[in-house]
Amino acid sequence: MPAQRTYRTLNPATGELLREFAFIDNADLEAKLATAHAAHLAWRDVPISEKVALFLAVADLIEARLPELAHQATLEMGKVLPHSMAEGSGAVDMFRYYAKHGEELLADELIEVPGFAKVILRREAVGVVLGIEPWNAPLYQAMRATAPNLMLGNTVLVKPAEICAGSTLMYDEIFREAGFPEGCYQTVLATPEQCSTLIADDRIRAVTLTGSDRAGSAVGAQASKHIKPVVLELGGSDAFIVLDSADVDVAAGTAAACRLVLGGQACALPKRVIVTDGIADEFTEKYVAAFAGQVLGDPFDEKSTVGPMSSQAAADLLQEQMEDAIEKGATVLLAGGKVDGPGSYFAPAVIAGVTPEMRVYREEPFGPLGMIFRVADAEAAVALANDNPYGLGGAVFGAEEEAMRIAARLDTGGVGINAFLGSPTEVPFGGTKRSGVGRELGRSGMDQFANMKTYGIGG
């Protein structure tokens, strides 16, 4: 790794350098890992009641510092300030959820087994968990890896995305102020090579990654080599199916809003709108109108509804994907694209007539690009929805019975019926195919990283 390389955070609205952070050196990384391992040996035995009190203290501190945290996330990532505020609120909700339900989620399960007086299934902590987290929601993602593991009794090292390091580092101070024992949570500004070293270390007992399928493939292979549990929450190109029986106003408004939140830069956002013929014209008109009504601008300006993309590289890639589709025959319903001038601004755009020869048919377009696919009927909608390498989530809008029937045939980890499901704290979140393996949140958020230990008591 060249010595001059650093974590560099830029303001995507201006392109200006905000700060450079040095990569952690190997001696400091070893010290953090040793501290995390030692902390686990004590933290795993802390009573639930004490953990709950600390969780509530963290939730209160995040809530109190939400304006500061959201400002930092918007400064580094570019999404409009209300979206960063909502993201931080999601982290607050996670800690309060596990504080409220931790005892029941960790309760022993009694299993009747012939020949035994009692058999107990108990969820026990395993050790230090490494979380490798993305740039699009740094306040939320880091805590999605952290909250369930800490309640279980594991300790956590979080490696943040290089372009949003400042946002994640703010959590270290919050955990200290809340009174958590040293080493329970730590941010590590590690290199990819250092992450590989961590995964190979016996003190790291599990790994979770949210990111691209390419990164997931690499980390998954390393975890498998060292026989360690791994959760991979990867890309998504979710289908938003609108049937003839749908409420078109609600469907169009929901589809547009979901596509544009966080500037369209999230794996769980529905990127492919699939509409049946009977209502396609009406839906398209309203969907395009919603995109056209967006205000692109400074993410701190309360009038702006869409800010810049996270980086020039991200905007360039989306522009290339859109131009490829247009060159190969896609219809432009709303012209948009990269905006000249400072910053990585991309005006919301909508295209239709996407075919398998186009990159956006298979690739994940990460940004404010809407795509409408018109199909003959519900059967064609299912076939098109599943003809994709990703299987994270999806949505079906229509009469409930019909929508449920269609949803059951989607090869995804979750699906919303006349609603956008997203990733509520209470339910498992994850996908199929190239969208990853394993689940986060809910009870699954702990079970993936627990030793599911069975005690058989003879009678």
DSSP 333-362: EE--EE-SSSS--EE-EEEE---TTSHHHH
Cα separations (Å) of 192 from 7, 132, 364?
12, 10, 23
Instruction: Judge whether residue 4 has pLDDT over 80.
Output: no
The residue annotated as part of the active site, out of 233, 258, 364, 440, is 233
Instruction: Judge whether residue 1 has pLDDT over 70.
Output: no
pLDDT, average across residues 350-359: 97
Q: Is 258 a catalytic residue?
A: no
Cα separations (Å) of 171 from 22, 69, 139, 223, 252?
18, 9, 8, 26, 37
Q: Please check whether residue 235 is in contact with residue 434, taking contact to mean a CB–CB distance below 8 angstroms.
A: yes
Radius of gyration, alpha carbons of the chain: 23
If pLDDT is split at 50, 70 and 90, which confidence band does 459 have?
confident
Share of the chain above pLDDT 90, in %: 97
Q: Is 267 a catalytic residue?
A: yes
If pLDDT is split at 50, 70 and 90, which confidence band does 48 have?
very high
Instruction: Judge whether residue 135 has pLDDT over 90.
Output: yes
Q: What is the mean pLDDT of the chain?
A: 96
The SS3 assignment for 275 reads: strand
Q: Which letter, b or e, does each residue of 137-152 get, where b requires 16 or more Cβ atoms within 10 Å of its Cβ? A: bbbbbbbbbbbbbbbb
Q: What is the pTM of this model?
A: 0.95
pLDDT in tens, 276-330: 999 999 999 999 999 999 999 999 999 999 999 999 999 999 999 999 999 999 9
The residue annotated as part of the active site, out of 87, 164, 267, 440, is 267
